[in-house]
Every structure is written in C-alpha cells, then in structure tokens.
Amino acid sequence: MQAIIVSCCGCFHGRTLAVISMSCDNEATRGFGPLLPGHVKVDFGDDVALEKIFKEHGHRIAGFLFEPIQGEAGVITPPEGYLKAVRDLCSKYNILMIADEIQSGLARTGKMLACDWEEVRPDVVILGKALGGGVIPVSAVLADKDVMLCIRPGEHGSTFGGNPLASAVAIASLDVIQEEKLAERSAHLGQELLHQLLKIQEQFPNYIKEVRGRGLFTAVEFNSRTLFPVSAYDICLKMKERGVLAKPTHDTIVRLTPPLCVSSDELQEGSKVLRDVLELDLPNLQKTKPKDSPTTATICDRCGRNLYDSSDKDL
C-alpha cells in the first residue's frame, strides 16, 4: 500500500524532487519529471478540508507537511486556531504533524517557532537557514525518539549530516537567539515595521493591496492592475539601488525580512526606501517599461486555480 503525504496549496519546501512533486509553483514543476506520486493537496488554513482528506485517506497518510506561515507564497498567515486544529486532527487520525519552520522558525516571527503562537507541539520540526547564524549551511529535523528510531542504523545517510563544525555553529546560534532575546526583539520591532508599512499603504492605497506579517516576517502585496506593467521584481531592483535588499515573489509581492539585529532607525530607513520607490521611481517605470511585457501565469498546473491573484476586484 502506497503511503501519502498531505501538503498545502501554495507550499514551498525546497527544490529536491519529492518536494517539487508537491509544489504548486509552476516555476518549480514545469520541465521537471517524472514527478513523484503519493501527494495530496489541501488549502492552507482550511482544517475542515483537512479532516475530510484525513477521513478519506487516513489509513494511508504518513504525515501532513505544512508551513505554519507560508513564506514563498507571500508570508501567508493561517486563521487563528488553525494550528491547534491541525494538532488535534493529526492526533485523532494518528498522522504525523510535520512543521516546516525553515523560514518561520528561530525567532523570525516573534516566537522561537511560529507554532509557539498557538502553543502547539508538532511531531516533527524542520529547521535551517537561521540555524547557521549566517555563518555556515546547516539544517535539522527534530522529533521524539518514537519517530526518530523508526529509522534504523544504515537506513539513512547524509554526506554532510551532523558534521562537527556545523553543529557547533548551530548550537552557538541558538545560544545567541536565547541570550540576546531575539524572539522578543523580533516581536517588538515587527510591530514597528508593520506600522510603518501600513502608513505607506495609506499613502499609496491604489498600489498596495495588503500589508501582512508576524514579527520580522512581513510582506507587501501590490495590486497587479495598478502596478502594471511593473512587477515586484522591478520594485526590488529599485530598492536595491537605494540600498535595501528585498525579495519578490509571484510578481506582485515583496517580502521584507530584515535581520533580527536590525535597529529601529534602520527599519525607518528601509521603509523610507520603499516609500521613495513608490513615489519617485514607480511613475517613471510605468512610463518606460514596455506594456506588452510578459507576466508569469499564476494558474497552477496542479489544481488549475489562480493561487496568487492580486488584482482588486472592486476597482
């Protein structure tokens, strides 16, 4: 009997074949294959749909893999109570709750883990990125022995897994996060950043559809109609020219994830750069960029839906 992994629409868990096979990102799936079977999709934040899948396939489902906050999708936060509902459902149907906290974990959202916002303990936690403190690549999978010891000696290996230098850096990184109270710092400064971004939205309501985030994990979503023919990538390039690095996603979303050691003054400087780009650079970009510039299709090859439609239906 083939085991099934359930994952969310709009998820991003990496670029290796298994997780590409569960991706809703056409850029990750087109041109690759054959994709692996055994994946079932569910809408992120919909615990009712999740239970329906658990009821239909529960005897075959090995785990539910999800991001507590979807990063690549544009810093999408779930409805309040969703994480607790997932925990209850996974316990009820004896399915592993696997939280991918590679982007959201280790103080990024204002808590040590994003799951801590609802005081939820997953069965498996995946960590990376911040675990290396910006010094060395390292990642980790955390679980209790009842899960870990299902893999016996010789059944799994990794070329660089558990090397002493990376492990020492990871331990030091965790010490710094705790000793310097970076989770609390992220929560406090994150409120400042969101306030600044909301002020910018008030100034440019026709351009900015939504500002969202938690801690120093934030995103600005633009209206594709009023932004056209400019993309989020163009906005990020102009921000770079003014001294601030940001990451575009899905043509209309700019993610702002400053380092946890950022100062209030630096946050204000970064916000000013975004404001200046919208006020000074954007009008010229819209005049000079060819109007027939191709845009990336957002219709998912897997489910056929427009996952990242940022147009304002009310305009």
User: Region 41-55: what's the mean pLDDT?
Assistant: 97
CA distance 146 to 151: 10
pLDDT value of residue 308: 64
255 strand-pairing partners: 219, 247
For residue 282, give every residue at least 6 positions away whose Cβ sits within 8 Å of its Cβ, in sequence order, or none: 207, 227, 230, 235, 238
Q: Any idea where the domains of the chain sit in the sequence?
A: 4-127, 182-288
Kindly report, residue by residue over 52-96, the tens digit of the pLDDT.
999 999 899 999 999 999 999 999 999 999 999 999 999 999 999
* Positive/negative CA dihedral, 75, 78, 80, 84: negative
* Correct CATH for 182-288 of 3.90.1150.10, 3.90.230.10, 3.40.80.10, 3.40.50.720: 3.90.1150.10
**Contact present, 108 and 215 (Cβ < 8 Å):** yes
Residues catalogued as catalytic: 12, 100, 129
CA distance 173 to 189: 20
Report which of 204, 63, 220, 80 is spatially closest to residue 147, judged by C-alpha positions: 63
Class of domain 4-127: alpha beta
**Contact present, 250 and 298 (Cβ < 8 Å):** yes
Task: State the pLDDT confidence band at 315, using cuts at 50, 70 and 90.
Answer: very low
pLDDT value of residue 158: 81
Helix, strand, coil share of the chain (percent; to 5): 40, 15, 45
Asked which of 222-226, 251-255, 308-312 is least confident by mean pLDDT, the reply is 308-312
CA distance 310 to 250: 9
Kindly report, residue by residue over 263-300, the tens digit of the pLDDT.
999 999 999 999 999 999 999 999 999 987 555 456 87
More confident residue, 56 or 303: 56
